[in-house]
Every structure is written in structure tokens, then in C-alpha cells.
Structure 1
Amino acid sequence: MSAEDIRAALRSVKYPGYSRDIVSFGLVQDIRVDGDRVHVVLHLNSPNVEAGRKIREDSQALLESLPGVREAVVELIQPAAAGAGGPDPWAHQTRVPGVRRVLAVASGKGGVGKSTVAVNLACALQRLQARVGLLDCDIYGPSIPLMMGVRQRPTLSAREMLVPPVGHGVKLMSIGFLLDDDQPVIWRGPMIQKTIQQFLTVVEWGELDYLLVDLPPGTGDAQLSLCQAVPLDGGIVVTTPQAASVGVVRKGIAMFQKVNVPIVGIIENMSFFEAPGGQRIEIFGHGGGRAEAARQGLRFLGEIPIYQEIREGGDRGLPVVVGAPDHPAARAFLEIAEAIRRAVD
């Protein structure tokens, strides 16, 4: 019985109230096997005592039932309960009604094309017959309205809920729909938090298979507000190949792990440029995203080359997946969308 065998077995232990297992949530921190003795360390960031107790009991029972295991020890590391250490920051998480999967698209660094990737992935999933929404959580620099070619403001339903505009079959919400052109957002953290909560709770998203959330760069207020407001089903990390980007992306990965969000995988954007003569030119180096995925034991979802058509589509409000679905760039996004769907469903 190896540590990998134990890890595989623990995938049958579900986090209370979720369909996901404790391995994909990143709770299994260490596994030690010594003959017929097994020692497992679980790290739970939430101080929820009942959840911790159930996870530990289920893990213990599973390990003791495995053939070849005579002694099993499950060590649970967990913060103090709210009464001893303050309120539980995850206590107010609520699922978005009608939405099967909420997936965050993130990067540790700006300028890696994260919003471009989010827009094209949303359109690619829609082309794969999924019901898709796209939430722009980049409050200071919203770009989804431009890239999706939508300018209309949300309307109000009979229940006084915001009805999201639709672009290319994708339901959309962004602070950009509520502002005049070039109007800056000069807000502190609490306003960011309140806005993101409202975009999740007072928007009539309806029935969706996937709600993609385009996060701003970094690990600040918007990221924390989203994680506290809704249980995320996965994080998608976008990087470019060079070391300067990959190094910062590690912080984004660590953020997801710290708040127990399973990481769907890493996408390498701007991987290479193909010259007119067919020569492959690696402007930003090559393979940084794939190497980081391998280093961290994460899924590498794919690479997206540099194509002028991707930039032109974003500027025109017609993503390349919609405007040129047979173009190699569109096929790259469609293949990654398929990989994401397989990973989370």
C-alpha cells in the first residue's frame, strides 16, 4: 500500500454538503505509510467543528477498511472555533441558485491575457452546448463589455432582480454596464465586497451549467470577497511562459489552496508566435506553464499561441471562438474548454 494508493482511496471521502472529495479540495496535506501503519494529515481552513469531525471520522473509517492497513491515524489541523478565535469568514457562503458550477479564472499577474481567455472560454463552453454566464469581478478595470461587444445596461425583473445582458449566447454582468464611458471606480475594499456579493445574489442568472468569474490580477479584496460569498467549484489559472509570470502565478495557486478551492488546471497563454514562413518564435520563452503544472501536480489544460485574430476579436467585441470558429486559435480555446468540462463534471 503506497501513499498514492491512500490518496486515491481518500477521494471517496466527500466534504460535508458538497459533491467534491477532500483530495480535490486540497485538504490532504501529508500521507505517511510505514508497513501496515498509515498516518494522514488533513488541513481544514474552516473552523466548522462538525465538518471537521465528519471528515475525520469518514477518513478514519475508510482507512481502517483498507486491506493491508492494521493501524490508521488521521490528524486534523483546524482553526479554533468562532467562539475562541472570532467569526468564521466562510459562514455566509451560499450557492448561486440554478448554477451548477462556479469557476474562477485568475492570474497572479496582470497582462497575461486572463480576460481574453475568460471571454473565449465562456464562448467555447457555450458552443459546446452548455448554458454559460460570465461575471466580471475586475471592478477597477472591467473589460468584458468591450470584449463581448455588449453596451446595454441590465434591466430589472418583476422580482426587482438585475437581468443580465446576453452576448453571443452568454449571460453577462460587469460593473462596466453600470458606469458611463471612462468613469473610474474609486472604491475601498468594503464597496468591492458588497458589489461582488450583489452580482452573485441580486442578478437573475437562471439555470446555468457554468458561471465563469473573471477575477482581477493578484490576491486582494475581490478574490477574498468571492471566496467568502460563494463556494467555488474550481480555479483556472492563466499564465504566460516566462519566469516573471510563472513566479507570481504561484501566489494565485497558493491563494486557491489556502481557501480550499480545487484548482482545475493551468493555461499557458501567448505560448508562441508562428511566423508567415511557419517558423515558431517563442517570444516569451516556452513551457513555463506546463512545467509549473507538473511541478505542482496540477492539470495542464493547454497552450494558446499568439494570433492577431485573438486581439482583433476582443477589440471588435467578437471573440475569435465566435467570429472565426475554425481558426487554430478558436480550436485551441475549444480544446481547453473540453478539458475543463471533463475535469469538473
Structure 2
Amino acid sequence: MKIVIAPDSFKESMTAMEVCNQIEKGFRKVLPEANYVKIPIADGGEGTVQSIIDATDGKLIKKTVTGPLGTLVEGFYAITGDGKTAVIEMAAASGLHHIPRKQRNPLLTKTRGTGELILDALDHGVDRIVLGLGGSATNDGGTGMATALGITFFDENDVELVMQGGVLSKIARIDFSGVDQRLKHIVFEAACDVTNPLVGPQGASVIFGPQKGATPEMVTELDQGLNHLGDVVKASLHLDIKDIPGAGAAGGLGAGVIAFLNGCLKSGIETILNIVNFNDCIEDADLVITGEGRIDGQTVHGKAPIGVAKRAKIYGIPVIGLAGGLGEGYQSVYDHGIDAVFSIVNGISTLDEALLNGKRNVEQTSINIAKTICLNKILQKV
């Protein structure tokens, strides 16, 4: 048998590669002669960089950059094993985890550090950059990122602005004359699984602003700022970014990728699967095993296991899903390519206990699944 193991990470418990290793360990105890192919994956959010490093034999690049409040933070990104693609989690530079809860204020935060990671990737000679949009502390429409890349913003008095969420309404002019010319030769993709537009009731500020510390008054100001940014971009570039699905991702960074990088927004999991050449890996597989920390009714909305299952079904390959827990509506995954799902938690436990015992539980569940496969072979002969 050829068994492809392609899970996402189990957040706060195991990386995707650690999950792969434990699944293989359990299966080998029952099916030692099988051919195991491990492909750690992610959907563009937290853990994407590590998954790409593990899946492509890539390398981790660390870089001190400007954090969301202007202080320095330790950022990072991945370069794939072939040296051609950089994968950046924007949260590594501009994420919410960099700001203590009481200091969170999206009027003051900026994506400049994300732009600085892009610049560093250019210095490494890549020709493609994938930005994972998720976990942001920002609501600046990607203007902070743009300033790091040489794009400048001016107010009505032609004074250069220091870009952050609360400054967007002051933009009168955008100057592209100083932009880094290497950007013209780079393919930019944003790995994005939300479809929110830039502005309005479903836009970046209204939907995501409160979790970044925005009060109702701030939400109104931020939405007005992004709306104004959209007007200026349309006047300057003849590009309407307000209603593009996904433009509101990461506080409007989705719109910024389109406007300032000439990039495109793509499904996170589809982007990652393409980077790791997933279809080539599974074409002759007999079984695919995927999973994530929790499988529930939301899993079918662009999560990693469903992306894996859809690719497997192209070749008629059965798919098994493992999860730290099965939540309400998990049965919906059966209609989207997953044939069976299993919780790795074997009994009553606290969350801390479940996280601590994750590796052991994945291994034991894998043993049980492998034994069930063997039992089915026996029953077929009866």
C-alpha cells in the first residue's frame, strides 16, 4: 500500500510534521511494509511556514523587523527547497500576538514589518512570494507594507504620512516613483480563506476590528478610512478594490496585495498544496490520511483537510480524517470528500491533558485505524 499522510498542525499540541510522524509510527506497527509519504500542510495561517519547510526541505529565515506598534520584533519566513518561493505569514511581523491585550488598538497598528520581510525575501533572489493572511493586529489596508517597499502616501498639504490604521482618511496622493523595481519581476499570491470585502457590514473593520481591540467608534473610523483608501486607489490606479472577495482579509491587506503588489488572492490550502506538488504525490496512493486539531461544521469552509480530500477524490482515493476533537456538524465533511473521521481523544480529559498527550493519542488512534483496515481485508476474504 501507498499511504499519503497530509495533516495540518494540531494547534498548541503538534506541528503538522509531528502529526505525520505519529500517524506513520502507529500505522507501521500494523502495516510495516506499506510505503508512507508524509506531506505536512497548512491553509495559509499559523504553521504555514513550518509546514512548507518540512514539506519541501526548505529553510527558515529570521529577520528583525518593525512590529505592529513600531517596536522591533523577530520575524521569520520560509524559502522552499528549490529556492524559488518565499512563504511569509504576515502575522510573523504584524500579528496580534505581538501586542499585549490591553495595548491593542488598530488605529495605531501597521503592516510595515510585513513589507520588510518581503524586502528581505527579494534579497534572497526568489521569484515568487506567497503571503499568508491571518492573525493580523492591523487595519491599515496594507499601506504600512507599501511604505516599506518604497511607496509613499501624502496628505492634502503634500506632507508624507506615517501609515497606520487611523491615518487612512488623510491620504490625498500616492506616489509610486520610489517603489522597489524588483517587485515587477515577482509573482505575488495571498493565501486567503476569508471572502470579506474591504468595507461595509461584512468588511475588514466591522467583522475583524473588535478582536483587534477596536471599540464601536473605532470600527466606524477604520471603515471610513479603508473606504477612503479605496477611493484614492481607484482614482490613482483605476482599480476598484472595495468589493473584491477577500480584500478585507488581515485588516485590508488583501486589498493591499492587489493594489500595491499587483498580486492575486487565492485559497490558502489550494496555494499550499500546489507549492508541495500534492497531486503528483497522491496520484498512485491507496489511502490519504489528513486531519487538524478540530473537525466540525466549519471545516468544510476552506479548511486544510477538505482541500486535501478534494484533491484525493480526483483520483478516487479514500480519505480518513483525524482530529483532536469532533465538534458540532462534523458529519458535513462526509459530503466533501472525507470518508471517515476519528477523534484521537480516548476518554474524558481536560484540554491541557489532551494537548499534552496528543502524540501518544495520534499514534494509538492510528494503530486502531490500521487494524481496522486489516480486519476489513480479512472480512473481504470470508
Counting helix residues as a fraction of each chain, which structure ranks higher? 2
TM-score normalised by the shorter chain: which range applies?
Answer: 0.3 to 0.5
Going by fraction, where is strand more abundant, 1 or 2? 1
TM-score by length of 1: 0.36
Q: TM-score, normalised by structure 2?
A: 0.33
